[in-house]
Amino acid sequence: MGKRKNILVITYWDFSEAHIQANVLPNLKILSRFTDPEASIFLFCFNKKHLGKEDVLRIEKELSVFRIRLIFFDYSHFGVKMLIRYVWLIPYLSYKVFSARITSIYAWCTTAGAIGYLVSIITRRPLILESYEPHAEAMVENGYWTTKHFAYRVLSFFEKKQAQRASFIIAANSGMRQYVQKRYNYTIPADIFFSKPACVELDTFYPDEAKRNLIRAKLGYRDDDIVCLYAGKFGGIYLKEETFVFFRSLYDFWKERIKILLLTAHTTEEVEELATKAGLPFSLFTVLYVSHKEVPEYMRAGDFAICPVKPVPTKRYCTPVKNGEYWASGLPVVITKEISDDSSIIEQNMAGAVLYNLSSEEYQKAINKIDKVLHQDRKSVTDNIRLLALQHRNYKIAEDIYRQISLKRS
């Protein structure tokens, strides 16, 4: 059989975060099918919520069928303190590579890619980049850093170096090859470059009229209520006050018929404050914090959804997980302009509305489009929108990429 080809997967998130649950784990379960059947996949996560030993054992037992094992490291925000931690983190992971007989390193997104690059250099193991997309420039566009910020300069350096080091690059968007060429004056070889958006588990997210009626009744919605769904947070890479201005436009149009269902970690107090500032009665809102396993159930309660990503230039190269989940659930989507390929897909397929600016007039145009969609046959609408997930967010895309990489590496 030869040497076991164990894999180290490096992420920059807590295990409980949606990035891990909705994106990383489903991909690793597929990746396990294209690895040595005796090999293990070691998943490295930052430990923000400090899982206990019993929780870790329980999770590892659930993942054992996919040969996935966990490695945790206490987290601090990127900065001097985190750089000090890196002094220990890099040797720690390098030791893990040797002790666990790791033969390749997968790094998820460019922040983890910086760690993966250093470990790859030290251990001389091949580096494979997953969900490669701009991060340093995005942090500047969203107002977190300036171009003079130390973290910006460090991450920009590593974004280029990891691309140059990588044996394979799986980007979040096909445009990343042109982005790297323009920004870093480096051409990623075509034979090592793949693009894979954030896919969705189609057997988990799907429209179901009976389940929809049950969950709407549970939430106290009437048959003629129109439910706007949002799964995510406000602020950061997402619009905040502007989103509540949009909600106000919904209320002005549909009055008490509009209901806003938020699947979010924000507290009811935070949401109520934002609603009050926008002149909205809080009675319109249902604010829920649910596990990722529960998300499909609540998504079925919606009539349409929103994806209020800030329309900054680098978001052309991102891949919002929520859009695939919305589409798989059959929901029309209101989205800002030039977000991944999603904005153009929605526009071309009349599967919602694109906001080309953040004005009241543009909000009204979007509402008119949604209202027109909602007057169409519901089953026809949900079936057509679900086809977008089948075409653009199908895990068969991941299967094909992992198969190709496996063949190239054999």
Does residue 258 sit in the same domain as residue 403?
Answer: no
- Nearest-CA neighbor of 290 among 271, 272, 270, 263? 263
Does residue 71 sit in the same domain as residue 152?
Answer: yes
Does residue 257 sit in the same domain as residue 379?
Answer: yes
5-58 per-position pLDDT tens digit: 899 999 999 998 888 998 999 999 999 999 999 999 999 998 776 677 888 889
Per-residue model confidence as pLDDT tens for the chain (410 residues): 346 789 999 999 999 888 899 899 999 999 999 999 999 999 999 877 667 788 888 999 999 999 999 998 876 665 666 667 767 889 999 999 999 999 999 999 999 999 999 999 999 999 999 999 999 999 999 899 999 998 899 999 999 999 999 999 999 999 999 999 999 999 999 999 999 999 999 999 999 999 999 999 999 999 999 999 999 999 999 999 999 999 999 999 999 999 999 999 999 999 999 999 999 999 999 999 998 899 999 999 999 999 999 999 999 999 899 999 999 999 999 999 999 999 999 999 999 999 999 999 999 999 999 999 999 999 999 999 999 999 999 999 999 999 999 999 87
CATH code where residue 178 lies: 3.40.50.2000
Does residue 213 sit in the same domain as residue 327?
Answer: yes
Does residue 375 sit in the same domain as residue 229?
Answer: yes
- Examine residue 138 and state whether it is found in any structural domain, yes or no: yes
Does residue 357 sit in the same domain as residue 405?
Answer: no
Assess contact for 123 and 102: CB atoms under 8 A.
yes
Range of the domain at 95: 6-196+395-409
* pLDDT at residue number 279: 97
Does residue 246 sit in the same domain as residue 379?
Answer: yes
Phi, then psi, of 289 in degrees rounded to 5 = -110, 110
User: What's the pTM value of the predicted model, to 2 decimals?
Assistant: 0.91
Does residue 249 sit in the same domain as residue 281?
Answer: yes
Does residue 244 sit in the same domain as residue 383?
Answer: yes
Report the distance separating Cα 163 and Cα 80, nearest Å: 25
> 124: alpha, beta or left, given left = phi > 0 and alpha = psi -120 to 50?
left
Average pLDDT, the chain: 94
- Examine residue 203 and state whether it is found in any structural domain, yes or no: no
Q: Which residues pair with 333 in a beta bridge?
A: 305, 352
Report the distance separating Cα 405 and Cα 407, nearest Å: 5
- Examine residue 236 and state whether it is found in any structural domain, yes or no: yes
171-193 per-position pLDDT tens digit: 999 999 999 999 999 999 999 99
Q: What angle do CA 53, 127, 44 make, to 5 degrees?
A: 10
Does residue 155 sit in the same domain as residue 231?
Answer: no
Does residue 187 sit in the same domain as residue 222?
Answer: no
- Examine residue 227 and state whether it is found in any structural domain, yes or no: yes
- Examine residue 1 and state whether it is found in any structural domain, yes or no: no
Q: Which residues contact 217 (CB under 8 A, 6 or more apart)?
A: none
Helix (H) or strand (E) holding 60: helix 53-63
- Examine residue 125 and state whether it is found in any structural domain, yes or no: yes
Does residue 102 sit in the same domain as residue 45?
Answer: yes
Q: Tell me which long-range contacts 313-317 makes (C-beta under 8 A, separation of at least 24).
A: 313/137, 313/141, 313/338, 314/133, 314/134, 314/137, 314/138, 314/141, 315/138, 315/237, 315/339, 315/340, 316/173, 316/175, 316/340, 317/133, 317/134, 317/171, 317/172, 317/173, 317/175, 317/176, 317/179
272-282 per-position pLDDT tens digit: 999 999 999 99
The token pair at 7 is 């894999």
Q: What are the Cα distances from residue 365, in Å, to 5, 54, 84, 249, 368?
A: 54, 52, 51, 11, 5
Burial class (CB in 10 A: 0-12, 13-18, 19+), 214: middle
Phi, then psi, of 42 in degrees rounded to 5 = -90, 115
- Examine residue 202 and state whether it is found in any structural domain, yes or no: no
- Examine residue 217 and state whether it is found in any structural domain, yes or no: yes
Q: Which residues contact 144 (CB under 8 A, 6 or more apart)?
A: none
**Domains in the chain: how many in total?**
2
DSSP state, residue 374: H
101-125 per-position pLDDT tens digit: 999 999 999 999 999 999 999 999 9
Specify the amino acid at residue 284. L
Assess contact for 152 and 189: CB atoms under 8 A.
no
